[in-house]
Copies of this chain bind each other. A is one copy, B any other.
Amino acid sequence: MKSYKQMTKDELNAEKALLEKRIEEYKAMNLSLNMTRGKPSVEQLELSREMYKGLEDSDFMSASGDVRNYGIPTGLVETRELFAEWLGVDKDLVYVGNGSSLNLMFDTLVRAVIFGEVDSPKPWGQVEGKKWLCPVPGYDRHFKVTETLGFELIPVPLNENGPDMDVVEELVKDPTVLGMWSVPCYTNPDGFVYSEEVCRRLASMKTAAPDFRLFWDNAYSVHHLYEDEALQGKLPEIISLCAECGNPNRVYEFASTSKITFASSGISCFTSSKENFDAAKKILAVQTIGANKITQYAHYKFMPNLDAVKEQMKKHADILRPKFELTLDILDKEITGTESASWHKPMGGYFISVNTLPGTAKAVIAKCNDLGVAFTPAGATFPYGKDPQDSNIRIAPSFPTLEDINKAVEVFAVCVKLSAVEKLLAE
């Protein structure tokens, strides 16, 4: 297909007419499809159906004690070990929480806001004009947390190897820049994986704030789409890397089983340096009696070690891979060559990120909505919901059926192309 950018007005008008005809056909179909939701499909949820089976015949005993009673506030040793094996960290520095790792992130920030970090000159709540770095495009709910807690959000371009480190290293010279979000393995939504060099620069960079923190949301670290290890995202273990680089307290790492077992009804964790962990534990001992240990126990019975987690993830991949590949195939077939959009083929994670011709993302979404096909609002992947390029759109192929994806992505591609043509004609 010829690039729209090289077409004459006449050629563009001809293409427009063709696309409009297709739009009319879709309109007649009265579609009602939803591609907004980055959530597991029912088929994926079924993989964990038997998680609680036979629990009534168990002894409810962990090596930490009776899981049905009070106590064990940092979590069962078995689940701490599971996360430790998974993340390559010390089990004694793992806190196991309830289903939402976002909740652990929010609470970690709240502690910094009210009490400060171990190396803070003062609580973050007292830092005027405090700022937070947000690699973009990124995860809207991350951004919303720091926005709500009073940080100014500073976007940082995200490349194939991670955030643009030249930009980051410049920005952290400002002492009011207190931290940064990161989804280092299969970034949300692009599916990029931070390179070892980027990780090392993040771990070693000089920051004006002595208490600068990386929030390392390792949400997708075992969420590979392909079994071939050469294709799988792999990160250096960031906590020891920071320690090696002389910044032992720089990072909080998070993970959860939300997209492994049950979404928002799994288990989550955070881990950090001993100093950070001990400070957090002291406040957590006041905040809560502890997380649900029956849930932890059932998870441990269901997935006693990392191998079991990996087995479960292969089953997820078998369900997800065709959906990703179908989406990419349609995009490729419809769009490649037109230069009306670009995207990256993710090897894991939950999303495909499409960059439309700048200035057209909102128009694309509106056109799709008109046809009964819902996509995540344009801008959602940027701080304050504002994409300065009006270009990025997040596609979530996990929840719909292959049949729905087939139709929805085709509609999407046609809308992308029509919006591009309209934009070029108006220039």
Q: Which residues of A contact B (CB under 8 A)?
A: 37, 39-40, 42, 45, 48-53, 55-56, 60, 66-71, 98-100, 102-103, 106-107, 110, 113-114, 125, 141, 144-145, 148-149, 258, 262-265, 283, 286-295, 298
**Distance to closest chain B CB from A286 (angstroms):** 5
Candidate in A48, A286, A287, A291 with the most chain B CB atoms within 10 angstroms: A287
Q: Indicate if the CB atoms of A68 and B295 lie closer than 8 Å.
A: no
A138 to B64, CA, bound (A): 29
Candidate in A50, A52, A289 with the most chain B CB atoms within 10 angstroms: A289
Decide: A106 near B68, CB < 8 A? Known: A98-B98, A265-B295, A292-B295.
no
Minimum CB distance partner of A125 in chain B: B125
Q: Indicate if the CB atoms of B149 and A114 lie closer than 8 Å.
A: yes
**Distance to closest chain B CB from A330 (angstroms):** 25
Of B45, B66, B100, B293, which is within 8 A of A289 by CB?
A: B100
Decide: A265 near B67, CB < 8 A? Known: A53-B55, A145-B286.
yes
Q: Which residues of chain B come closer than 8 Å to A291, judged between CB atoms?
A: 98-100, 264
Q: List 15 A–B pairs whose Cβ atoms lie within 8 Å, in order of A's numbering.
A: A39-B69, A45-B60, A52-B56, A53-B55, A53-B56, A98-B98, A99-B290, A100-B290, A100-B291, A102-B288, A106-B287, A106-B288, A145-B286, A258-B289, A265-B295
Q: Which residues of chain B come closer than 8 Å to A99, judged between CB atoms?
A: 98, 289-292
Minimum CB distance partner of A106 in chain B: B287
A283 to B150, CA, bound (A): 13
Q: Which residues of chain B come closer than 8 Å to A45, judged between CB atoms?
A: 60, 66, 68-69
Q: Which residues of chain B come closer than 8 Å to A42, judged between CB atoms?
A: 66, 69
